[in-house]
Amino acid sequence: MAILCLIGTACSTTPPTGKALFEDARGTVFLRQISDRSFRASHPISLEPSLLARVLSGVLVQEPQRALQAVLAGSSSTVPVFSAEQIRFLVPLLARALATAATDQVVGFLVTTRRPGDSLLEYSTTETTAGSLYAYGQSLYFLLSQYRSAPARTNTENIAHRRLPDTSGLSDHVLLFTPSFAQGSDNFHRPAAGATTDKFLAIDYQLLQEVSPSAAAPAQAPPRPEHTIEPPRQSVPVLPPSKSPLNVQRTLEQRDDEVHTLKDLIIKKDLELDALRQELQSIRRQLDDQTTRQDSQKRKNKPPSKLQQTNP
């Protein structure tokens, strides 16, 4: 394992002097020879573009000086190293480079971003992000040597602050990976040589591949540096989800429809009861009339009673 510590110089990617596989205004992807002939990477290796996209999108950078301010403000103190556009550019090229790299080569990359000045008096600047990637065992080893480095802007800041120039853009920064369970231990693989500002990550890509993105995203959070102060947590009462105005309006309309339907049903029942009551009254009158006629007829048909004869 100690052999891997000798490849630090080979992992440095600024400036890229290896075999360029692709190069345009957006950036460069190239293969670089490892100076240590005893080292053998797990190349060539075929990795899915979706897996490489998860690897690049999970690489985060944090500035410790701003971590406490971000925590107190309730915002995140980490930012992705690569933009969505840079990930779309790098993923297919890195996949092809890893599939063609030899065991004594690492894959280097460099991406540039043109950013306009903040005012009419400021010139636009070109920011450079560079690093390298190689596979060994079940892990991908990621080295970042430059992060949004802009020499012109750095020199201007150094004049005001009287400090040594930082061409890497990584001074006082921490490199992290999310989900954190896929960030492996790099104690035996960290390059011993190279610039002091180089940042290094070991990523267990097989473990990352076994866990689906939907299952890993909500449960994992990027690791924090040891010196980051976490404010005391306060219990927040759980409130029921509020209904949107549109849902409330729909509920009210539905209730109004139900009330109108119920009213119509009651009126219909009342009308039916009135009709039934009138029908019963009509039947009762008919029965009374029939009874009266029968009684009258009986009285007419009754024979007169015979008078009793008296003795003379």
**pLDDT tens across 134-181, in order?**
999 889 999 999 999 887 555 444 444 444 556 777 878 899 999 999
Residue holding tokens 């030899």? 102
Specify whether 167 is located in the same domain as 23. yes
- The chain-wide mean pLDDT, for the chain, equals 76
Calculate the alpha carbon distances from 266 to 38, 94, 263, 272 in Å: 94, 75, 5, 10
Residue 52 has a pLDDT of 96
Express each pLDDT in 112-133 by its tens digit.
Answer: 998 876 666 667 789 999 999 9
Residue 308 placed within a domain: no
Any idea of the CA torsion for 33, 38, 44, 47, to the nearest 10 degrees?
-100
Distant-in-sequence, close-in-space partners of 115: CB < 8 Å, separation ≥ 6: 124, 125, 126, 127, 150
Specify whether 70 is located in the same domain as 123. yes
Residue 229 placed within a domain: no
Specify whether 139 is located in the same domain as 270. no
Specify whether 60 is located in the same domain as 199. yes
Specify whether 158 is located in the same domain as 287. no
Mean pLDDT along residues 278-307: 76
Local confidence band at 300 (pLDDT 50, 70, 90 cut-offs) = confident
For the chain, what is the domain count?
A: 2
Residue 39 has a pLDDT of 80
Query: CA quadruple 251, 256, 260, 266: dihedral positive or negative?
Result: positive
Alpha helices in the chain (DSSP H): 8-11, 49-58, 64-73, 84-100, 151-161, 205-210, 213-216, 245-301
Calculate the alpha carbon distances from 75 to 31, 72, 124 in Å: 38, 8, 28
Specify whether 208 is located in the same domain as 250. no
Local confidence band at 71 (pLDDT 50, 70, 90 cut-offs) = low
Domain end point (choices 168, 200, 216): 216
Specify whether 53 is located in the same domain as 193. yes
Express each pLDDT in 186-223 by its tens digit.
Answer: 655 555 556 778 899 999 999 998 886 665 554 444 45
Residue 54 placed within a domain: yes
Specify whether 196 is located in the same domain as 264. no
Domain end point (choices 216, 232, 255): 216
Specify whether 79 is located in the same domain as 198. yes
Specify whether 192 is located in the same domain as 151. yes
Local confidence band at 96 (pLDDT 50, 70, 90 cut-offs) = very high
Residue holding tokens 């853009």? 169
Cα–Cα distance, 296 to 202 (Å, whole number): 118
How many helical (H) and strand (E) elements, i.e. helices and strands, does the chain have? 8, 9
Tell me which residue range forms the domain holding 206. 2-216
Query: CA quadruple 10, 11, 16, 22: dihedral positive or negative?
Result: positive
Specify whether 278 is located in the same domain as 169. no
Would you give the DSSP letter of residue 116?
-
Specify whether 20 is located in the same domain as 139. yes
pTM above 0.85, yes or no: no
Local confidence band at 227 (pLDDT 50, 70, 90 cut-offs) = very low
